[in-house]
């Protein structure tokens, strides 16, 4: 009779932890996607490069936990969401406020630098200090507050998730599985909220965690492959400290963000350097580098797109003079579809172009679009006060390089009262003050600023 192997001291968590549906913070994407259903376990046996042991040894776990938590207590950054989540909580409302702060901060931190998020988080919490306050907001208010952070679908999911929490009793779900039922909360965010706010011993895996674990275990597999990610979740689950799960998860992420960085790791200051297989390998092999892990993955080739953006201004003063301070001056803005890139945001009218379209072709496309979508027939010379090329601007998304040809088109007031309900496109006319307070994307804001600067230069006297 064969002798049974002893059970691992750290219980496996594959029954409760599935693959991460969130991309690592440093690996951006054009827009967050709806959370798919958990995929079934693969039938084939998982193997990773030169790894022989897919589990941390018991003594490794103890050493890593102790070293990381000691380091974190001394070196953690002072961040506003931590001040809330680490404070004393004696009531359900206080615990819910912790969960809410973690939720907002984690959604903001996806694909965004910490220093950028701090101001946004502080302003957000002043305006909507609890999930109940957020649930009463409109999408326009949320987009306005979010403007500049990018990936606006995240903001919409925050609002929809808040409404769902309030509609179902107003209390945050207390476990990973229940949190995942909330709109926009995936495996990573659920783990962060559950471990930090509710002290549930579950892991979180983002780009920083993937990098730290890949180096600890010299994992040479593709870090974006779903099977690799599943195994890293499993390893992270073995490491998480049962007494301080939230602090431990933040410690691993803090390590990856500050010391175990992608290109310049500070191994001499790393609290877990003695457990790092990648560092040990460099000592035995002069050609090896800690930065060999995780494996570099070829970036997706950036797509080149082109568009004509027309800032349409309609003036009402009788002389037909252009004056942006005139209360009668209105700008035409269009609402993007509720799905896809920059979903639900307002922008200036724009049309897609081919790379080689010249000015005549661009303007013809714009004229057809304005007529068919808004009933603005600008082919009559009496309608146009002025039409100027403003310039070009390249806006970079994760996988798209968008070159925009920007022009300013000023029309007389008679066109302001054309039929507004033609077609399915949502649009409206707003004055410059309203435009300045709206939640516009960075690209749209840049186009407007270019128009303003162009107008100032055009009206300035020529220096002699």
Which residue, among 306, 322, 369, 346, has the nearest Cα to 440 in the 3D structure?
346
Q: Which of 35, 60, 106, 313 is catalytic?
A: 106
What tokens appear for 306 in the block? 């082109």
Strands (E), 246-317: 303-315
Q: Are 65 and 239 in contact (CB under 8 A)?
A: yes
Active site residue 106: yes
Residues 283-313: b if buried by 16+ CB within 10 A, e if exposed: eeeeebebbbbbeeeeeeeeeeebbbbbbbb
Kindly report the backbone phi and psi dihedral angles of residue 400, in degrees, each rounded to the nearest multiple of 5, phi listed first.
-135, 135
Decide the pairing of beta strands 427-430 and 330-335: antiparallel
d(CA 117, CA 106): 10
How many H-runs (helices) and E-runs (strands) does the chain carry?
A: 16, 7
Burial of 196 (0-12, 13-18, 19+ CB in 10 A): buried
Q: Cβ atoms within 10 A of the Cβ of 259, count?
A: 20
Residue 386 host element (H or E): strand 384-396
418: Cα within 13 Å, side-chain hemisphere = 22
d(CA 286, CA 304): 41
What tokens appear for 180 in the block? 């995942």
Residues 6+ apart with CB under 8 A from 139: 156, 159, 344
Burial of 40 (0-12, 13-18, 19+ CB in 10 A): exposed
Which residues are known catalytic residues?
106
């Amino acid at each position: 009779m064969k002798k049974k192997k002893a059970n691992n001291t750290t219980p496996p968590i594959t029954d409760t932890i599935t693959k991460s549906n969130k991309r690592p913070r440093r690996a951006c994407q054009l827009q967050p996607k709806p959370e798919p259903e958990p995929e079934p376990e693969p039938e084939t046996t998982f193997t990773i490069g030169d790894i022989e042991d897919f589990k941390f040894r018991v003594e490794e776990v103890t050493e890593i936990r102790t070293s990381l938590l000691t380091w974190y207590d001394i070196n953690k950054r002072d961040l506003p969401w931590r001040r809330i989540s680490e404070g004393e909580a004696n009531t359900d409302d206080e615990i819910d406020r912790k969960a809410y702060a973690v939720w907002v901060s984690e959604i903001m931190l996806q694909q965004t630098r910490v220093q950028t998020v701090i101001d946004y988080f502080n302003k957000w919490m002043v305006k909507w200090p609890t999930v109940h306050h957020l649930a009463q907001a409109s999408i326009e208010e949320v987009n306005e507050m979010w403007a500049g952070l990018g990936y606006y679908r995240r903001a919409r999911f925050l609002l929809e998730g808040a409404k769902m929490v309030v509609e179902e009793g107003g209390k945050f779900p207390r476990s990973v599985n229940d949190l995942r039922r909330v709109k926009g909360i995936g495996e990573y965010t659920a783990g962060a909220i559950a471990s930090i706010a509710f002290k549930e011993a579950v892991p979180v895996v983002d780009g920083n965690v993937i990098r730290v674990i890949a180096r600890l275990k010299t994992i040479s597999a593709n870090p974006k492959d779903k099977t690799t990610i599943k195994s890293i979740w499993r390893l992270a689950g073995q490491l998480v400290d049962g007494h301080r799960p939230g602090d431990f998860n933040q410690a691993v992420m803090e390590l990856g963000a500050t010391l175990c960085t992608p290109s310049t790791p500070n191994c001499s200051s790393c609290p877990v350097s003695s457990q790092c297989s990648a560092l040990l390998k460099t000592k035995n092999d002069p050609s090896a580098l800690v930065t060999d892990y995780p494996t570099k993955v070829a970036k997706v080739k950036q797509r080149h797109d082109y568009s004509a953006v027309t800032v349409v201004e309609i003036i009402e003063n009788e002389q037909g003079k252009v004056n942006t301070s005139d209360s009668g001056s209105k700008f035409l803005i269009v609402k993007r579809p509720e799905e896809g890139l920059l979903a639900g945001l307002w922008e200036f009218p724009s049309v897609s172009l081919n790379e080689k379209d010249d000015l005549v072709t661009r303007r013809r496309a714009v004229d057809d679009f304005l007529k068919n979508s808004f009933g603005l027939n600008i082919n009559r010379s009496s309608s146009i006060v002025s039409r100027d090329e403003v310039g070009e601007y390249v806006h970079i998304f994760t996988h798209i390089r968008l070159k925009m040809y920007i022009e300013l088109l000023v029309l007389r007031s008679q066109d302001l009262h054309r039929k507004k309900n033609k077609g399915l496109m949502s649009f409206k006319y707003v004055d410059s003050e309203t435009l300045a307070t709206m939640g516009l994307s960075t690209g749209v804001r840049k186009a407007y600023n270019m128009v303003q600067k162009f107008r100032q230069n055009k009206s300035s006297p020529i220096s002699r």
